[in-house]
Chains A and B, each alone.
Chain A
């Protein structure tokens, strides 16, 4: 008899706890309701430095010291025309 009561209590407890589990009912989708649901943020995978150099042509040159040296316009030393302390 005691064992039966314990089994009944255990079963009742499991029944109560089952109420705390996630609902199996699917959440409404965006097509079903567009009420006050915040838009899901879009996760953008940022390119790595290596990826960037492939797609951002500016970086091909601006990360390459020798290429910058080779392509730089020669700077004419400007003649100082001002006189005195600025």
Chain B
């Protein structure tokens, strides 16, 4: 959506003043000074009081009690992979890098329920009214846009949007519940812990009444997306630095392209038992953080660069599920060693499919 005008970002509606949250005075939550003078009024202003979730916990205890540890707030997923690829002596440099380039994605209660996230310029969603269900394109895909948003909404050229959006206009919270957003159940990565949401929460598959025999045949060997997702976005190296002219953080990615490749599941667990999953190239390379120090990712090969993916462009019918041999024996859609750059082979040895399933 178009960026908000400066006045639009901070105009408070009359409805807000008669709402429950409007009962408090401005300074109760935002600090600052009661003054007619703009500069004085804004002295010591707290633009986002929900940066401290305790301010919301006074009334919303259940939603707030584990929010600080949730992945949206803690961004623990980033540190899980940074730590795996690095060593403790590099952490100070990585922390500086993280503060400059990654921390802006930290999410507060207000970033979903009151205003647009800072990463897209901020601004009140609805005249400061507290919005119970965050609007999809102004909050969720404002951040998760370049991959998930484009896939789900059908913004990738010549590729249809997700069937859940196209046919049922389901929004993000139709599957990703508030409870999931408010509490990550201790997970340190979005693909660790319980698989939420699961397709089978709604779709009964593999049972006696399932007319699709392939569901029972493949069982847990394939994740649902292996058969039901279509081409999605992959990216190469995201190199970060500080601009010499403006002093602002900036990045440069080496490339963005469309892929559909099936690899081995390196996150196999009771929750994710699949042998095969779609894999997406993630924008990591050994030199991503060179601006902050030399060789900050000495264990680069510890994690794959072709990563477990759950593309958000689900279709009932896809090229690979059109027939048995659209997949079986079709090396084009499997991540085989010849598709991996030499310097990435070590990192992806557990993802590369050594032998494509034979034709039927």
A positions within 8 Å CB-CB of B:
46, 49, 52, 55-63, 65, 68-69, 71-73, 75, 78-79, 81-86
A-B contact pairs, 21 of them (CB 8 A): A46-B23, A49-B18, A57-B34, A58-B34, A59-B17, A60-B36, A61-B38, A61-B41, A63-B12, A63-B13, A68-B7, A71-B38, A81-B243, A81-B246, A83-B252, A84-B238, A84-B253, A84-B255, A85-B233, A86-B146, A86-B238
B235 proximal to A (CB < 8 A)? yes
B248 proximal to A (CB < 8 A)? yes
Max chain B Cβ within 10 angstroms of own Cβ: one of A56, A71, A78? A56
Tell me what chain B mostly uses at the interface: helix, strand, loop, or mixed. Answer: mixed
Q: Across the interface, do A69 and B41 meet the contact criterion of CB distance under 8 Å?
A: no
Q: How distant is the Cα of A33 from the Cα of B42 in the complex, in angstroms?
A: 49
B209 proximal to A (CB < 8 A)? no
A54 to chain B, nearest CB (A): 12
Name the interface size band of chain B.
35 or more
A56 to chain B, nearest CB (A): 5
Residues of B within 8 A of A65 (CB): 7, 11
Give the A-B contact count at a CB cut-off of 8 A. Answer: 79
Q: How distant is the Cα of A86 from the Cα of B119 in the complex, in angstroms?
A: 11
Q: How distant is the Cα of A63 from the Cα of B17 in the complex, in angstroms?
A: 10
Q: How distant is the Cα of A32 from the Cα of B103 in the complex, in angstroms?
A: 60
Residues of B within 8 A of A69 (CB): 7
**Which residue of the partner chain, among B11, B30, B251, B255, contacts A68 with CB atoms under 8 Å?**
B11
Q: Across the interface, do A84 and B254 meet the contact criterion of CB distance under 8 Å?
A: yes
